[in-house]
Chain A
Amino acid sequence: MTIYNLYIFDRNCSCLYYKEWTRQKEAGIPREEEFKLMYGMIFSLKSLISRLSIISAKEGLVGYTASNYKLHYFETPTGFKFVMNTDTSVGNVQDVLRHIYARIFVEYVVRNPVARPGEHVDSELFAAKLDDYIQDLSFK
């Protein structure tokens, strides 16, 4: 599987972390704008999904598939949002995103005494652990 990039947002619209591993095309707008666009798009999609839902569904957005990439979405009950773009061969990666949250984000950001809630993630250990995990996955 090829993993392109990952965004982590908190429930206050802030992008706490962004990392890309492969990217062929830039969005053509400054990073900050791109984060806002991504967050806004997710927000709208979630809203549309719940309004247009045919059956009452517990879960909302899981992701979408475009012709040449797939977007995967995972949200914690506390409003942390994990958005990952991959190639179209990738199936359901809820467990991957959940692992990133539970085993990497919580371990090295939430449990990091120096990292404060709401701040951008600067921990090198977090970045390294995430990288290791993603590299590992990419070879499967």
Chain B
Amino acid sequence: MSRQGRPQDTRKVSGELFSLTYGALVAQLVRDYEKDEEVNQQLDKMGYNIGVRLIEDFFARSQQGRCHDFAQAADVLTKVGFKMFLGVVPTVANWSAKGDEFSLILDQNPLVDFVELPETHQGLLYSNIICGVIRGALEMVQLEVKVWFVQDQLRGSDSTEIRVKFLKKLEDAVPAGED
């Protein structure tokens, strides 16, 4: 992919420490763990821990309030959340009939600039941290979700697609004696 002729993208320059560090982390995990699946899981777990905090930073920076429904959450996640932190707005598509599942389609994935997956690690979900972040962030606004990669451009697919499925609404803890 040639990047000549494009004006200097400040986001790319300032986001480089993050994406390079992420790349080094993935490379280290690949060395540490035997199976790609283990790396994927570790990335998801780390993403979750990051998401749990990141969402507070999100609310601190934006004027967003609570979402009323899952569709609104999808909207805010992509148009505000992704835009704010990764500078891209994924398309929300492929809603399930029940309205409890949707896909995020990413044309561009800022995490993977200059990344190529080696032949021996085709099972690796390089950007799996994103799934964990979404899961952790949404849990803090009481949406229990399952998030997973459907397709990855890094693995040869046409697009990068992440699926988000609503599992259940988490209730606030009820203080003792208030039932």
Contact = CB atoms under 8 A, between A and B. Distances in A.
Interface of A: 11-13, 36, 39-40, 43-44, 58, 76-80, 101-103, 105-106, 110-111, 117
A78 B141 contact: yes
Contacts of A39: 175
Contact of B65 (A43, A58, A106): A58
Nearest to A78: B140
Interface residues of B, number: 22
Contacts of A13: 173, 175-176
Contacts of B174: 43
Contacts of B5: none
A12 to B, nearest CB: 5
B59 A102 contact: yes
A39 B175 CA distance: 7
In the complex, the 7 A-B pairs of residues with the closest C-beta atoms, listed nearest first: A102-B60, A106-B60, A77-B66, A78-B140, A110-B56, A40-B175, A12-B173
Contacts of A106: 56-57, 59-60
B53 A43 contact: no
B60 A79 contact: no
Contacts of A44: 178
B111 interface: no
Contacts of A11: 172-173
B69 to A, nearest CB: 13
Nearest to B176: A36
B149 to A, nearest CB: 26
Nearest to A106: B60
Contacts of B55: 78
Contacts of A77: 59, 64-67, 141
A117 to B, nearest CB: 6
B141 A117 contact: no
Contacts of B53: 110-111, 117
A79 B172 contact: yes
Given A13-B175, A39-B175, A110-B53, 15 more contacts: A11-B172, A13-B176, A44-B178, A58-B65, A76-B56, A77-B59, A77-B64, A78-B140, A79-B140, A79-B142, A80-B56, A102-B60, A106-B59, A106-B60, A110-B57
Nearest to B52: A117
A113 B25 CA distance: 18
Nearest to B49: A117
Residue among A39, A79, A111 with the highest chain B CB neighbour number at 10 A? A79
A110 B174 CA distance: 24
A139 B42 CA distance: 50
